[in-house]
A and B are shown apart, each in its own frame.
Chain A
Amino acid sequence: MGQPEITIIGGGVVGLSVALGLLQAGHRVRVLDGADSDARASQGNFGLVWGQGKGWDFAPYANWTVDALAAWPAFSKTLKELSGLDVALDQSGGFEFFTDQREMDEFSAMLNTQQAHVGERFSHEVLDGDDLRSQMSGIGPNVVGATFSRMDGHVNPLRFLRALRVAVTKLGGQITSDAHVAKIAAHQQGGFDLTLTNDDKLGADKVLLCAGLGAMTLASDLGFRTKIRPQRGELLITEKLGERLPFISSTVRQVDEGGVQIGGTKADAGMDDSETLDVMAGLARHAVDVFPALASVRVIRAWGALRVMSPDGYPVYAQSTQHPGAYLITCHSGVTLASMHASRLVDWIDETSSAPNLEPFDEHRFAL
C-alpha cells in the first residue's frame, strides 16, 4: 500500500468515523491521534444517539440529525462486521424528563418546530406526569412529564470508540497515537507538509482537521475562522445493576453492562474539566427525582468532560478557501452524527454526484 493520501488530525469519534468512511470508499488514510492528557471529548461522552431538540431552530441540522438516526442501525451492523464488537445500539426511543412545567412547555414548543422541519421522518410525544407513571412504574412524583421520541437511543460509548479504532485498523487505516501536529505548511501546487511536535514530517494530499478542542490553533493557521469553545459537562457513574432501567433518557441512562450514567450539565469553565460538588449533587438529585429507586444505588465515579462547541452549536463542515484540500470537521454530537460522517460526509469530501448539500454547515455563517 502506498503513502496515505489523506491525513486526519484527531483520532476521536469524529476523526475515526470519517476515516472509516474514507477507507470504505477506497482511500488510503492516516489518523493522527493525540494523547490521554488531551481534552478527549470521545472518552468523556454519554453515548447518546439522539434527535430531540437538535436543530429546532436550524432546519439543515434537524434533517442531518434525522438522517443520522435513520442510518445508525446499518452503521452499527457494519461496525460489528468489521470490528467484531457490538456497540450495544439501543434505539428503542428516548425520554426527556422534566420536573418544571415551564421548562417542559418550552421544550415541547421546540420539538414542534423541529417536527415542522423534518415532517414525518421524526416523531415526538408529550406525556404528562400521571400518563407517564401509569405507563412506566418507578417514575418519581416530582416528574411533571416527559417528551418521547421513538428514534432516540444510545450506544456503549467507550466500546463504540474502540470498535471504530479496530474497524479503521482492519481496513488498513494507520493510526498513530501520541501524535501532535505542530505545523501545517500548504504547497502552492496543492498538498500539505505536516510537522509533528516530535519533528516527524508527513506529507498529505488532503488534511482533515477533526481534533475537537485540539483543532483551534491549526484551524486558524489554515485560514478557518470558526472559534471552537469548550463546554463542560459533568457526569456520575453508578455501580452496575442486575436489572434494566425501564427507559433511556438524555440525562439518566443505563449502559448494557449495567452501570447508570447521570449527566447533562452545561458550564463555561474554559479548559477546566474538573468535577464540582454542587453540580454532582444536583445530578444525583435529578436522577432520584426521575427514578427514586436510584437513591440506594452508589455512585462510584464522577468526572467532568469538555464538549466541543461551535459558536452556534451546530456542526462545521468546511473546506479552506485559502488552502483547498484542508477541511475543518467539527461538531458536538459526534456519536449521533457518526453514521453520517462515515458515509455521506465522505461523498461531500469526494465531491461525488450524490454528495449532500452541506453548504449550510460551512463556516461562512460566522462571517463578521
Chain B
Amino acid sequence: MNIASRFNVLPDDRQTVQFTLDGEIVTAKQGISLAAALLAQSGTASRQTVNGAGRTAFCMMGVCFDCMVNVDGVPNTQACMVTVRDGMRVTRQIGLRPLEGSNDV
C-alpha cells in the first residue's frame, strides 16, 4: 500500500541564500529553518555538550534544545526556531555559552 507522503518538498526553483558555518560558506533554500539548512548541509554535530558529546537538530520544534548554535554572535540560539537568512554568521556552539555572548561580532 502506498500512502502519499505529507512531506512537502520545496520547489527546485526556490531562491537560495548563503550563510557561513564556522566561516565556511553554506548555500540553503530560502525560507527553511536554520536547523533544516544545517541538516541538509551535513549530518555532523552542530554543537557539543558540556561533556563533549556531539549533538545536532533533532525535534525541529523548539523543544529539545539540541540544535543550539551561535547566530550572529548570539549564543544558545535554537536553529530550528530561526529562518535562514543571507549573510547569517553561524558558529557551532562548543560547551556552555560564555558570559559575554558576542564572541563572533
Q: Report which of A242, A245, A293 forms a contact with B97, defined as CB distance below 8 A.
A: A242
Q: Indicate if the CB atoms of B96 and A297 lie closer than 8 Å.
A: no
| Distance in Å: Cβ of A252 to nearest Cβ of chain B | 13
Which A78-104 residues sit within 8 Å CB-CB of chain B? none
| Bound Cα distance A273, B50 (Å) | 33
Inter-chain contact A239/B97, CB cutoff 8 Å: yes
CB of B54 within 8 A of chain A? no
A243 touches B (CB below 8 Å): yes
Residue with the highest number of chain B CB atoms closer than 10 Å, among A240, A242, A258: A242
Q: Does A201 contact B (CB under 8 A)?
A: no
CB interface residues, A 234-253, toward B, < 8 Å: 239-243, 245
Question: Which of chain B's residues has its CB closest to A295's CB?
Answer: B101
What residues of B have a CB within 8 angstroms of the CB of A241 in the complex?
96-99
Asked if A188 CB lies within 8 Å of chain B CBs, one says no
Smallest CB separation, A4 vs chain B (Å): 41
**Chain A: interface size category:** 10 to 19
Taking residues whose C-beta sits less than 8 angstroms from the other chain, chain B's interface range is 10 to 19
| Cα A240 to Cα B50 with chains together (Å) | 10
Query: Does B33 reach chain A (CB closer than 8 Å)?
Result: no
Question: Which secondary structure characterizes the binding site on chain A?
Answer: loop
Q: For the complex, what is the distance from the CA of A297 to the CA of B96, rounded to whole Å?
A: 12
**In the complex, what's the smallest C-beta–C-beta distance from B51 to chain A, in angstroms?**
12
Contacts of A239 in B (CB 8 A): 76, 97
Q: In the docked arrangement, what's the CA distance between A298 and B97, Å?
A: 11
Residue in chain B with minimal CB distance to A258? B96
The reply on B83 being an interface residue by CB < 8 A is no
Q: Distance in Å from the Cβ of B65 to the closest Cβ of chain A? A: 10
- B102 on the A face (CB < 8 A): yes
Shortest C-beta distance, A210 to chain B (Å), equals 36
CB pair B99–A242 under 8 Å, yes or no, is yes
B95 at the interface (CB under 8 A from A): yes
Given A242-B98, A242-B99, 10 further pairs, Cβ under 8 A: A239-B97, A240-B96, A240-B97, A242-B95, A242-B97, A245-B99, A294-B99, A296-B100, A296-B102, A297-B101
| A residues lining the B interface (CB < 8 Å) | 239-243, 245, 258, 293-294, 296-298
17 contacts between A and B (CB under 8 A): A239-B76, A239-B97, A240-B50, A240-B96, A241-B96, A241-B97, A242-B95, A242-B99, A243-B98, A243-B99, A258-B96, A293-B100, A294-B99, A296-B101, A296-B102, A297-B101, A298-B76
